[in-house]
Amino acid sequence: MTITLQLVQRRGWNAWLYAKFLLFQRHRHNQVVLETVAGRPLVVLPDVLNPALFFTGQWLAEEILRTAQDDNALISAGASLLDLGCGTGVVSVFATQQAGRVVAADINPVAVRCARINALLNGVESKVEVREGDLWTPLANEHFDVVVFNPPYFPGAARNTFEQALRSEGLSERFAAGLRDHLTGDGCALLLLSSVGDEAGWLEPLLRQGFTVEPVASHSVAGERLTLYRIR
């Protein structure tokens, strides 16, 4: 019964998400648009998820900004940071205020171009290196103090470029298996998950790899709860 209910809820969410795309995003999805996130300009190219319309990327960037001066800041001053699945690069742009070095990576070549444009637009192109590739592939043996990941929430194969930001197969296991190889000794990951996605499917592989999982921030919007987890 519980599994059936979860499936119904997820199907309902998928329908709502698609309706939202049709109502708010479709007319902007195939053209270049300019958004403003926490006072910073952000170009969104076609086939790149818009963080201002789908909330997650914008909230994560704002959380980084909000905690920048706290004793428990999400990003320590001078830290090296990896922005996995960077999309528009919004997290990378805000992370430069704290991080000493930022590497952004995405499998979508349009997102890679978009992130480079936004780094240039915000005057942080010398602090952000953007790379194209699948998950850990473009990172060789590099280690980071912080790995930030706002992953695709839903299991299943992406049917188009837009859905690459929403769906994936086996990505949670590959992320968990490779994470330790890309963290410094005291490093951590910041993983953003949604209550309407497969949270357990992302957290359980990390626990099996021996990581500890701690929720550090949450936000609710339109019936969706976003939770940011610190992984050590």
Q: What is the mean pLDDT of each run of 10 residues along the chain (232 residues)?
A: 39 51 56 91 92 84 87 92 97 96 96 98 98 96 97 71 64 97 98 91 97 96 89 98
CATH number at residue 54: 3.40.50.150
Joined tokens for residue 16? 């709502």
Cα 77 from Cα 75, distance rounded (Å) = 7
Cα 227 from Cα 217, distance rounded (Å) = 6
Per the DSSP assignment, residues forming a β-bridge with 168 are: 155
The Cα diameter of the chain in Å comes to: 53
| Residues 96, 216, 51, 164, CA torsion sign | positive
Q: Is 73 exposed, middle or buried (0-12, 13-18, 19+ CB in 10 A)?
A: middle
Q: What pLDDT, on the 0 to 100 scale, is given for residue 147?
A: 99
Q: Go through the chain and tell me how many residues it has.
A: 232
| Nearest alpha-carbon partner for 57 in 125, 152, 146 | 152
Q: How many domains are there within the chain?
A: 1
The secondary structure of residue 36, as a DSSP letter, is E
| Residues 63, 25, 172, 179, CA torsion sign | negative
Cα 79 from Cα 108, distance rounded (Å) = 26
Q: 147 by DSSP, 3-state: which?
A: strand
Q: What pLDDT, on the 0 to 100 scale, is given for residue 72?
A: 81
Cα 143 from Cα 148, distance rounded (Å) = 13
Q: What pLDDT, on the 0 to 100 scale, is given for residue 5?
A: 37
Q: What pLDDT, on the 0 to 100 scale, is given for residue 59?
A: 92
| Nearest alpha-carbon partner for 105 in 146, 61, 59, 137 | 137
Residues spanned by the domain of 222 = 2-231
DSSP codes joined into one string, 155-193: ES--SSTGGGGTEESSHHHHHHHHHGGGEEEEEEEEEEE
Q: Helix-strand-coil percent breakdown of the chain, rounded to 5?
A: 40, 30, 35
Q: What pLDDT, on the 0 to 100 scale, is given for residue 126?
A: 97
Q: What pLDDT, on the 0 to 100 scale, is given for residue 168?
A: 60
